[in-house]
Structure 1
Amino acid sequence: MGSERAPSLSLRLREATRQLHGEVERSALMQQLLRGRLARADYCRLLSSLHTIYAALESGLAERALHPGLADLPLAGLARCAALSIDLEHLHGGRWAQDLPAAPAARAYALRLQTLAATDPSLLAAHAYVRYLGDLNGGQALARIVARAYQLAPGQAVAFYDFGPPATVASAITGLRAGLDRCAPDEAAAQSLVAEAVSGFERHGQLFAELLQAPA
């Protein structure tokens, strides 16, 4: 009998982070958001913190795009920084960057991403998994919730969730999973990526808790 085929990295990432992913989705902030009850000010603070995280992630991914551990990731069309800026300007105004500083947990996360870009770029793939696959899978539903909760005109202030038509989204999900499966050349690399993805979800849990504790 032949040996069983090892599970793909994308499957290992999903299984290893399943519990934490569920905990983050059940967090008080996410439950308020999903039910359309998150205060607009808190939502803007969330987007500002996410902008800080994406700025670090996307800068690192761009700077180290040719690194062997990242070269197979199909990232075209996934960047979210510009979209977050558009949404924040509409929801809060042009001074959002001055008025809405990122939460400490977001700044710590960004520092981790900057450190990885400088010292171990391959681990940025784990954070691409944490952020982009979640955005792609839940974006359309969240766009509808946000538009209804904040009484937005069609298409306004939901650029963050817009990855194009459903066929484009499905193709991006498939492509990203396939790219992730090529990111781990050996078992040690796979284990490091899984551990980093787990850390990414833990950091999101800390961020969401922090945002609701801070004064609006």
Structure 2
Amino acid sequence: MSLTLAARLRSETSALHRQVESTLFMQHLLRDRLDRRGYCLHLRNLEPVYSELEKGLERHAGNEDVAPVYLPNMFRTLPLQQDLQALHGVTWPQDFEVLPSTLTYAARLRELSASAPVLLSAHAYVRYLGDLSGGQMLRNIVVRSLQLPPQGGGTAFYEFGEPPEVARLAQTLRAGLDQVTHDKAASDAVVAEALWAFEMHEKLFAELSEALALTPLQ
């Protein structure tokens, strides 16, 4: 019996996913070593990715290959912007550099929206399922490392609701992915696109580490 698309994505990207999670930048993030500037630079470089992805999903919401993963409750562009304003102020768009990998990633999403919208589902998988699965843990890390008030601003990016709602959203997205396409060639292309997305995250995290002059942790 062949695997569903969601199962293929999980299986065939798992090694690269683990590699991305072990990058120097992620080590600093997970071990409370990022300061406010570093964390804001991170958010600043996620914002264009989500913005382009969500514009594409919105544009093609009526497309049968996009509609199953068009889930506006998961959209993160506005929460990212709210967090940047709460943590830095209204000048965040000018004060933090958009790095080359982010520009490449955003351009790719615009290209897919114009010519291959089915592949947007790969990016929905990479970003949203990661946000849902690790969001609460990362929220707690950010609150602790930036010394934020527990109920204060700055963590909207990770807030999807109570645990049952988070689980429901994750299940809805997985089920949606399995409705995106039943064509083998298209499924292969979605998996390949997800691998590309993880590779771009690895490049972005390397650029963030360089921009922030991060050093290996002991």
Question: Residues of 2 paired with 1:215 and 1:27: CA distance?
Answer: 14
What residue identity is the alignment partner of 2:176? G
**Contact 2:38–2:212, Cα closer than 8 Å, also in 1:** no
TM-score by length of 1: 0.96
2: CA distance between counterparts of 1:202 and 1:33?
A: 19
Residue of structure 1 equivalent to 2:210 = 213
Question: Between the two proteins, what is the percent identity of the paired residues?
Answer: 48
Residue of structure 1 equivalent to 2:43: 47
Picking from 159, 169, 193, the partner of 1:172 is: 169
Matches within 5 A, 1:139-154: 139-154=135-150
| Secondary structure at 2:69 match in 1 | coil
**Which residue matches 2:216?**
none
**Alpha-carbon distance in 1 for matches of 2:68, 2:35:** 39
| Distance in 1 separating the partners of 2:71 and 2:103 | 23
Aligned-partner Cα distance in 2 for 1:126–1:102: 23
Instruction: Give 5+ residue unaligned stretches, structure 1.
Output: none
Q: Displacement of 1:65 after TM fit?
A: 1.0
Q: 2:190 matched to which residue of 1?
A: 193
**Counterpart residue type for residue 41 of structure 1:** R
Moved over 4 A (4+): none
Shift of 1:69: 0.9
What is the distance in 1 between the residues matched to 2:38 and 2:78?
A: 20
Cα contact 1:123–1:193 (8 A) shared by 2: yes
| Structure 2 counterpart of 1:166, one-letter code | P
Deviations 1:68-123 (A, max 9, x none): 21112251310001100111111111100011131110111000000000000000
Instruction: Please report the RMSD computed on the Cα atoms of aligned residues, expressed in angstroms.
Output: 1.0
Matches within 5 A, 1:48-67: 48-67=44-63
Q: Structure 2 vs 1, CA of residues 6 and 210 (structure 1 numbering), >3 Å: closer, same or farther?
A: same
Quote the residue 2:5 is aligned against: 9
Shift of residue 63, structure 1, vs aligned partner: 0.6
| CA deviation after TM superposition for structure 1 residue 47, in Å | 0.1
TM-score computed with the length of structure 2 as normaliser = 0.95
Aligned length: 212
SS in 2 for 1:182: helix
Q: Tell me what 1:160 maps to.
A: 157
Q: Is 1:120 aligned to 2:137, yes or no?
A: no
Structure 2: gaps (5+ residues): 214-218
Match of 2:63, SS state, is coil
